[in-house]
Amino acid sequence: MVVMVENRHENKWIHVKCDCQESYNVVSTRGELKTVDSVPPLQRQVIIVLTQLEGSGGFSIAHRLTHRLANSGGLHDWGPPSSTHYPPIENVSELHSPRMIT
């Protein structure tokens, strides 16, 4: 499963919580099953990619998305101070960095 958010607002950020902790036998590209991100104006971001962990067993994917509009990029009460992504995306930035909508 791939979850992508597209922010078409011209001057607002979208804060997104993605909770997949009730999933079974899956692994996340972010290393966590719960993520929080701030998507800048007029950009899109791949939030999480989930794949089956053990091929011989079954799997299930459950996800819950929560979002809010914000006037700035910081996650405020949704994440660590002055952060825009949790967990951080430095190690997976090629896939998870926000990109301009073209």
Q: Is 97 part of any domain?
A: no
Alpha carbon 53 to its chain's center: 19
Q: Is 76 part of any domain?
A: yes
Q: Is 59 part of any domain?
A: yes
Q: Is 33 part of any domain?
A: yes
pLDDT in 10s for each residue of the chain, 102 residues: 999 999 999 999 999 999 999 999 999 999 999 999 999 999 999 999 999 998 888 999 999 999 999 999 999 999 998 899 999 998 899 999 999 998
Specify the amino acid at residue 61: I
Q: Is 99 part of any domain?
A: no
Q: Is 12 part of any domain?
A: yes
pTM, rounded to two decimals: 0.92
Write out the residue range of the structural domain in which residue 12 sits: 2-87
Start-to-end CA span in the chain (Å) = 23
**Max intra-chain CA distance, the chain:** 47
Domain total of the chain: 1
Token reading at 97: 């960095």
Q: Is 101 part of any domain?
A: no
